[in-house]
Amino acid sequence: MNDALFPTQADLQSHPVLSDLDAEFQQAMLERARVFTPARDDILFHAGDPVEWFFLCRSGQLKLYRLSPEGNEKIIALIGPGSSFAEAAVFMDSGTYPVNCTALQPSVLIAFDAEHFREGLRHSPDACFRLIGKLSQRLRNRVGDIEALSLQNAQLRVINYLMRLNHEQGDQASFRLPSSKKHIAGLLAIQPETLSRVFAQLQDAGILRVKGSEIEVLDRDRLKRAAEGQELTA
Amino acid sequence: MNDALFPTQADLQSHPVLSDLDAEFQQAMLERARVFTPARDDILFHAGDPVEWFFLCRSGQLKLYRLSPEGNEKIIALIGPGSSFAEAAVFMDSGTYPVNCTALQPSVLIAFDAEHFREGLRHSPDACFRLIGKLSQRLRNRVGDIEALSLQNAQLRVINYLMRLNHEQGDQASFRLPSSKKHIAGLLAIQPETLSRVFAQLQDAGILRVKGSEIEVLDRDRLKRAAEGQELTA
DNA sequence: CTCGCGGTTTGATGCGGATCAAGGAACCCC
DNA sequence: GGGGTTCCTTGATCCGCATCAAACCGCGAG
């Protein structure tokens, strides 16, 4: 992984929205871009801060999250290498970030200038289209999250999350959790204790083997059936 | 309200994304548009159906919702006159609607052709920008919903919903619920019984008066404090 | 006017998951 | 290698809300 202290063409190319744009626009974005290297627990922005940058993660890991007045935290998304975020914030009426962002690991981020992006988009229908596609997809994902929170219990949310993860990593028999269990619990809107218990159940039922952050799928059929039919007693 | 059986310029003008576009694009959209007049309980589309249309509500009311395998329903949004919906679906990778849509009242909808919209957008940076703004805003709202579901209890969700409604209707002392309590409960992801009980509490505490779908705010300060500090015993 | 039905309210009960508490396990730094 | 910190697990208890049940109300149809 390239840890250069300046943004490169390669960063642009790997960005889901900025890749394949006309040279002039790319050049303008690149000139105004910065590399940020937050340490673990560094806060990049708070919800409500005015939007100056949007980001591409080159390496490391971050969380986007909301806090309740009592200090409870709901993780909206975990960000890893290759993911971009906060593009939508650039276009919100309020002009502010809707979530907090904190580094979970020492990370390397490319920060692109929000205002320049807005301006450049006016002259690039291609980039507009990419962005619209990205936003629509993200909207669909959020609707999926809302359904999961409203209609599924803790066990079901965990199972579906595991199956999605496993699928993204190529449906291997064995795969890794992308983060600590505490943060995964935050993402699924359950307590770490509950996540631990669900893992224990699935393990006792002979469906999974959990060893640290390594998950081995022992019985894919029953896992899939559990995701629909709701059955763990068998 | 105009119930003409054909779409008009006025429909375009009142659309959040299509208004103020160049004449040629507008003309093209109008020619391909239709008027739908679903009766109560008519289903406009299911989640997973291929996207042919996106909509503007001229009158009536609809629900966008998801169903669990057990038949439980979570309402994602209630749509009323002037609201547009399903634009994002036009740009999703899957090419399918992410939610179900059913009319709650006899309604009048303008249906715009999805494919023509995609094509026309290529030549209209203005429309792109409007759409991007709209999608970003909707994304922020969905994140707000996720926070509410994860971090707030039933009472808090109801209170915040009421305050938002009241604000949208001009902060009058008295305002109306936009739908039956059953559907409002579905929107807030609680059962009708629970909604009824929360109303009873707020009424007993002297904060509200609930008469059918008419809400009267008796003590706005305490309502606002309850939305933050969590106190109803006083 | 009356009947019937969906929406709403109120009460009783049960369960899922949060919370509280404490014990283990892995990792880092000295 | 020892001690501390953070993460994870397991157990006991509690509470919010769902669920089940029943009565009530308002409204449209006949």
CA-based nearest residue to B99, from B45, B146, B138, B137? B45
Structural domain of residue A221, as residue ranges? 153-229
Whether the predicted pLDDT of A187 surpasses 90: yes
**Residue B125: its pLDDT value, please?**
87
Assess if residue A157 is contained within a domain.
Answer: yes
CATH of the domain at B205: 1.10.10.10
> Does residue B2 sit within a domain?
no
pLDDT at A96: 97
Where among A126, A149, A172 does a domain terminate?
A149
Look at residue A224 and tell me if it is in a domain: yes
Q: How far apart are CA B70 and CA B216, in angstroms?
A: 37
B62 and B38 inside one domain: yes
**One domain, residues B43 and B139:** yes
Where does the pLDDT of residue A3 fall: very low under 50, low under 70, confident under 90, or very high at 90 and above?
A: low
Beta strands in chain B (DSSP E): 34-36, 43-45, 53-59, 62-67, 73-79, 84-85, 100-103, 108-113, 174-176, 208-211, 214-217
Q: Is residue A28 part of a domain?
A: yes
Model pLDDT for residues B84-125, shown as the tens digit of each residue = 999 999 999 999 999 999 999 999 999 999 999 999 998 888
R_g over Cα of chain B: 20
Phi, psi of A62 (to 5 degrees): -135, 160
Provide the 3-class DSSP secondary structure of residue A108: strand
Lowest mean pLDDT among A17-31, A78-92, A218-232, B15-29: A218-232
Percent of chain B at pLDDT exceeding 90: 82
Domain-terminating residue out of B149, B180, B203 = B149
Mutate to test the interface with A, among B141, B151, B156 (most CBs of A within 10 A): B151
Among B33, B36, B7, residue whose Cα is nearest residue B116? B33
Q: Decide: B54 and B120 in contact? Cβ < 8 Å.
A: no
Q: Give the residue-averaged pLDDT of B143-156.
A: 97
Q: Do A39 and A112 sit in the same domain of this protein?
A: yes
Percent of chain A scored above 90 by pLDDT? 82
Closest partner residue to B151 among A68, A121, A150, by Cβ?
Answer: A68
Tell me which of A121, A149, A177 is where a domain ends.
A149
Is A158 within a domain? yes
pLDDT at B4 over 70: no
CA-based nearest residue to B18, from B138, B137, B128, B140: B128
SS (H, E, C) A39-63: CCCCEEECCCCECCEEEEEEECCEE
| Cβ contacts of A133 on chain B, cutoff 8 Å | 91-93
Q: Which of B90, B131, B145 sits opposite A146 (nearest CB)?
A: B145
pLDDT at A191 over 60: yes
Residues B171 and B119 occupy one common structural domain: no
Are residues A145 and A37 part of one domain?
Answer: yes
Number of A:B CB contacts under 8 A? 130
